[in-house]
A and B are shown apart, each in its own frame.
Chain A
C-alpha cells in the first residue's frame, strides 16, 4: 500500500481490491491530558473478513454505507453507467434546481489553494491523511464534471486534470461522500466561496436519488420509517404519547412540580417538535421542556400527527425528495393545529432543515413561522418569569455549538445568554460560535454504527471536538469535580454520549453531557434540588 501522504487522485480508480489508506493511532493528531498517551489509545476493531468479502470496503479502515459487491463485470458497468447518468442529472435545473447554482460555482471556481484543508477537523485529526483532505473528494468530482458532464476533451483534461471512471472509483466515492460531516467549516474559509461540504452532499444525492444507495441508518431505518409511522425511531403516535406520559410522571416526581404535556391543542401559540430520539434516550429533556413552558405560561402543544412529533429530517444529508417530504409533513402538522409558530427543540439539524433549507420548499399556507427553542428559552429566562438560582449550577460548564444551529443558521447568542445567566463557572471552548468545530457526529454519523464505523468517528471525526472539550475542562479534570458539557442538539449528544464513554471520560474525569433545558430546570428554585443527577446515561 502506498504511504498515506502519497495517495494520488488516480488511486481512486485502482483495481487491486485494497483500501487506499490505513490509519494508525500514532498518526492521529495528539490529544491533551488525560488522553495524551497515544500508545494507550484504544485499538480499532478491524473490519471482519465477512464484511470485506461482502461489501465494497476499498477506501480506508472502515465501511459506512455497506455497498454490496457487484457479482459480475456487467453489473459493475451498469452501476457506473447509472452513476454517470445521475451525475448528468445533478447539473440540470429540472432535477436539481435546489442546489444547481452553488454546485456549478464550486465546480468551476476552486483555485485549489488548500486553504480549506486547514479548517477541516477530519483532515487535521487524521494526521493530515490525504484521503480526508476536503479537496480530494471535490477534485474527483470536479474532474468528473468537466469530463462527463461538460464533455471536455483533451484540452479540458489538460486544464482541469483527467480521471478514469470505473466501478472501484464509484464504490470508493460512495464511501468518501460519508467521510465528511457537512459542517462546512471549510467553505467558511474559502477565499473564493467554493464549498466542499456541498460537493459531498450532492454526491450523496446522486447515490441516493439515482442509484438508491444511502447509509441505511439515514434511509432504510431513518427517513422511511419516519414517513411510514411518523418517527425515525419507529414510534407510532400511541407509543410516543405513552412515553411522554411516563416522562411527565417521572419529571413530576423528580421536580415536585406536576408536569402535564399538552397534545394536539388547536390554536396553541407554539407547536413544539422534539427530536424523538430525546424521548427515548434523554427523557429528562422533553420533561424539562414541558416544565419550563408550563411554568412560563406559554400556550403550547405537541402534535401526534405523522412526523409531527419527530423533528428529525435525515433527508437533509442525502436526498432532496425525502427531505422535502418530511418538511411538508412537519408543516402539515402545524397547519392542522392552526398554531402560531413551530418551535424546534434541541436538535441542530432539525433547526436548519425546517427553518433554513425548507424555507424555499414550504409555500402558501404551509409556510408557517419557525423559531428556535434557544430564542424562546432565552426570552423566558431573561424575562424573569422563572425563579432561577445560578448557585445550583455551580460546576464547570462548557457549551458546544451545533454546526447546523450556529454556523449554518446564525443562532449563536441566545443559548449563551442563558448559560451565562445561570452557570457561574461557564467557560467557552476555543474556537467557538460560528468558528466552532463539529462534534464529529454531524451529517448522520452520530446514528451510524455499522461495522467499525464508530471507531472512525471517535478516533477521527470527533477527535478535534474531544480536544476542545478536554482543553475547556483542563483546569478541573479531577474526578471529584463534576463537569457539564452542554450540547443543545440530539445528534451531538449522541456523539458525545458514545465518545465520552469510549474514552472513559465519565468514569475517570466526571465529564457529563446534556442539554440546555436541564440546566435551566436544575437552577429553578421551585424545583427540588438535583434535577441533574450526575449519573451516566
Chain B
C-alpha cells in the first residue's frame, strides 16, 4: 500500500511538472502574432499607465527609447496573482468563492514546499537541524506549515464548495457547465476532504504528512500510512497530475494572455528582432481557399499580400 502511494505521489509530481512544461513550451513556441494589446498596459510610463495611455500619445514616439516601467508591471502582476484583482473588480460575487479557493491552493503549495524542504533538511543535513539555531528554525517552519496546511485545506474546500454550488445553481453559469467542470470541482472536494478527514482521524502515533514525505524521499516502505489519509493523498496527487491537461492550467495560460498578448506593445523597429522573425513568417505558404486570397500552398504570404486581387496581377 505504501509503495503504491509513493509511486502515485512521485509519478504524479513528474507528470504534473512535465505536462505543465510541455504546455508552456507549446505556447511559447507559437509564432509571434500581430499586435493585439489592450490598454491599460501597466509597463507604460506611470503618468500614462494611470489613464491607460500608450507611447502613441507622444509625438515622434519612435525617436524615443522604449519605456519599461517594471514596477508598474510587477505591481499589476502581484495584485492579479495574489488578489485576483480583475475578478474582484468585475465579478465580485464570484470572487468571494474563487478567491478563497485560489488562496487556499497557494497556501497548500506553500505547505508542500515547506514540508519537502524540511524533510530534505532533516535527511541530508541532520546536524544542522539538530543544532540550536537550525532546530529553532525547523521548529518554526513546522508550526508554519501546519498553519498554512490547515488554513489552505479549509479555504480550498470552502472555495471549491462555493464554486460548485454557483456552477450548479446560477442560471448564467449552468448552461455553460460541462460534466467535466462538475467533476473537476468535485474531485477537489473529495481529494482534499479525504486528506482533511485522514489527518483528523489519523490513529495516535500514525505518520503525518511530513513523515510520509520524508519516507517517500528515502522510499521507506515500512511506514504504515492510514488508509483514509493515503487515499486522500493519492487522489490529490492524481488531481495535480490531471490539472495541466485541463483549462484549470490557466496559471500557465494566463502568463501568455497577459504578457504575450494584452501587454505586448513591443514596436517593430527597423532591423530589429521582430523584423527578422517576421521575415520567416512571410515565407510561409498559406492554403486558404477563397479565390480573392490567391493562396495555393505554393505562393508565400509575402506574395499573397503584394497581390492585388482585383487585377490578379502580382505587384
Contacts and interface: CB of A to CB of B under 8 A. Distances in A.
B87 A115 contact: yes
Contact of A433 (B51, B268, B285): B51
B304 A321 contact: yes
Interface of A is mostly: helix
B78 interface: no
B56 A193 contact: no
Nearest to A113: B94
B86 A191 contact: yes
B274 interface: yes
Interface string B281-312: 11011111111111100000100111111110
A501 to B, nearest CB: 32
Contacts of B73: none
B243 to A, nearest CB: 12
B41 A410 contact: yes
Given A101-B260, A411-B57, A111 B270 contact: no
A75 interface: no
A325 to B, nearest CB: 5
A160 B179 CA distance: 8
A204 B53 CA distance: 29
A328 B302 CA distance: 11
B257 interface: yes
Contact of B54 (A105, A118, A210, A411): A411
Given A212-B292, A321-B293, A360-B268, A193 B257 contact: yes
B41 A95 contact: no
A467 B226 CA distance: 64
A119 B90 contact: yes
A372 B56 contact: yes
A408 interface: yes
Interface stretch (A232-240, A284-292, A351-359, A451-459): A351-359
Contact of A321 (B265, B270, B295, B310): B295
Contacts of B183: 158
B51 to A, nearest CB: 5
B287 A89 contact: yes
Interface in B2-37: 27, 30-37
A118 B55 CA distance: 30
A interface, size bucket: 35 or more
A190 B86 contact: yes
Given A93-B31, A99-B34, A411-B54, A328 B306 contact: yes
B254 A100 contact: no
**Which of A192, A376, A414 has most B Cβ within 10 Å?**
A192
Contacts of A99: 33-34, 36
A28 interface: no
Contact of B281 (A97, A130, A228): A97
Interface stretch (A361-369, A386-394, A418-426, A442-450): A361-369
A81 to B, nearest CB: 11
A159 B30 contact: no
B212 to A, nearest CB: 31
A322 interface: yes
Contacts of B60: 341, 369, 371
Given A109-B254, A360-B34, A360-B274, A193 B261 contact: yes
B279 interface: yes
Contacts of B254: 109, 192-193
Nearest to B294: A321
B31 A97 contact: yes
Given A97-B284, A109-B247, A193 B293 contact: no
A192 to B, nearest CB: 5
Contacts of A321: 288, 292-295, 304-305, 309
A360 B35 contact: yes
A224 B292 contact: yes
Contacts of A414: 57
A98 interface: yes
Given A193-B261, A356-B35, 16 more contacts: A82-B289, A100-B33, A101-B31, A105-B253, A109-B247, A109-B257, A115-B91, A191-B90, A224-B309, A325-B308, A360-B34, A367-B268, A367-B275, A410-B54, A433-B51, A434-B39
30 contacts: A9-B176, A93-B284, A95-B286, A100-B30, A100-B33, A101-B256, A102-B36, A102-B257, A108-B253, A110-B247, A161-B178, A189-B86, A191-B84, A191-B91, A193-B257, A195-B261, A227-B310, A321-B305, A322-B309, A324-B305, A325-B305, A341-B60, A361-B278, A361-B305, A367-B269, A369-B62, A376-B59, A410-B56, A410-B265, A413-B51
Interface of A: 5, 8-9, 82, 85-86, 89, 93-95, 97-102, 104-106, 108-115, 117-119, 130, 135, 139, 158-161, 184, 187-195, 198, 208-212, 219, 224-225, 227-228, 319, 321-322, 324-325, 328, 341, 355-357, 359-364, 367, 369, 371-372, 375-376, 379, 406-414, 433-434
